[in-house]
Structure 1
Amino acid sequence: MQDTINYDEFNRQLIQNKIGITAAEFHGFLSGILAGGNHDESWRPLVSDMLNNGQAIVEPLAEQITRLYQLTKQQFSEDNFEFELLLSHHDLFTQIDDLVGWVNHFLLGIGLAQPKINHLKGDVGEAIYDLRQIVKLGYDESEDQQELGFAFEEIKEYVRITAMLCFDEFNEPDIATTIH
């Protein structure tokens, strides 16, 4: 398995297959499902329902989706905080739009995996509230692009850390028991 997914190629496959979301939105949805603690094969029908009205997804897109699922799960599970958001590398405004779409779909995915997400207290509850506020953010294209770029990077990092916080909250660590 490759260690990365090419955003533009994955986005092209989604468009070719008439899937109405971007690669960033899809990754946000998948990340939300994983962060919410769903690790069995029930993620597949959720994805089919979300992308294709419950119909089977054609190859090679289905293969690419499985690779993205495995890579995302691996990144979440590693101790060195390698989880990354799958966002466009195009202009700043496209990246901002991708980030908002990623967060919106992350909230959808985690909401499916954790139906009582609205009732959480503590750090995770506050983080989910913050994500809901991030979705409402806007920008003016006449704003100073350097300042906007700095703000984007800070918010992107906060979203990344929040996704990992949610994963840690809703996923039990693998505990290996030794029998003597």
Structure 2
Amino acid sequence: MTDSKIYDELNRQLIQNKIGITAAELHGFLTGILAGGNHDESWRVLVQDMLNDGQKIAEPLNKQIEKLYHSTKQQLIDEDFEFQLLLSEQDLFRQIDDLVGWVNHFLLGIGLVQPKLNRLKGDVGEAIYDLRQIVKLGYDEDEDQQELGFAFEEIKEYVRITAMLCFDEFNESDITPTLH
């Protein structure tokens, strides 16, 4: 299934279950939990709390969330840098809104797993600061679409790399070194 179909189906299920977030925001939240170093099944409780006030999530949405969690984890572990943000492929403005929502929920997820996130120094601390600035991004619909699209792609790539950097930082003990 393509990312576009996954996004659309997940959004449909979220709307059908009256859950007020987008597929991009859910993916950002799950990625934040993973990047923060969550190693147990507590991610399920965090997702239930955020999506459904602690109540069990209806099937088949729950299965889709589990599948997204595991595929995201695999992408983050993969040494080929296959990890991608799950964003709308519709118009540029929708993609920008999705990116901002993704980053906002990523920060929420990682903050739940890493409560001392504000005290981080170095590259990861700087990257978290940058993400907080990205959440404040806005745009004018009269802006040059080409320039805006170029800026969007650069920011999206920075966010993608930052998520992988955070995952590497907080999951070092899980990653076994490659022997040559």
What is the TM-score with the length of structure 1 in the denominator? 0.94
Query: Which amino acid in the other structure matches residue 96 of structure 1?
Result: I
Query: Which amino acid in the other structure matches residue 94 of structure 1?
Result: R
Match of 1:21 in 2: 21
For the 8 Å contact 1:49–1:55, the answer to whether it is kept is: yes
Change (3 A) 1:149 1:3: closer
1:83-134 residue CA offsets vs partner (Å, 9 max, x unmatched): 0000000000000000000000000000001000000000000000000000
What is the TM-score with the length of structure 2 in the denominator? 0.94
**Aligned sequence identity (%):** 79
**3-state DSSP class of the match of 2:40?**
coil
Query: Which amino acid in the other structure matches residue 54 of structure 1?
Result: G
Number of aligned residue pairs: give it. Answer: 175
Structure 1's unaligned 5+ residue stretches are: none
Distance 2:6 2:129 in 1: 31
For the 8 Å contact 1:29–1:106, the answer to whether it is kept is: yes
**3-state DSSP class of the match of 2:13?**
helix
Match of 1:79 in 2: 79
1:129-173 residue CA offsets vs partner (Å, 9 max, x unmatched): 000000001100000000000000000000000000000000023
Distance 2:89 2:158 in 1: 18
Query: Which amino acid in the other structure matches residue 86 of structure 1?
Result: L
Shift of 1:3: 7.7
Shift of 1:6: 1.1
Structure 2's unaligned 5+ residue stretches are: none
Match of 2:174 in 1: 173
Query: Which amino acid in the other structure matches residue 75 of structure 2?
Result: Q
Distance 2:20 2:39 in 1: 25
Distance 1:81 1:3 in 2: 18
Write out aligned runs for 1:29-178 (5 A): 29-171=29-171, 172-175=173-176
Query: Which amino acid in the other structure matches residue 162 of structure 2?
Result: T
- CA-based RMSD: 1.3
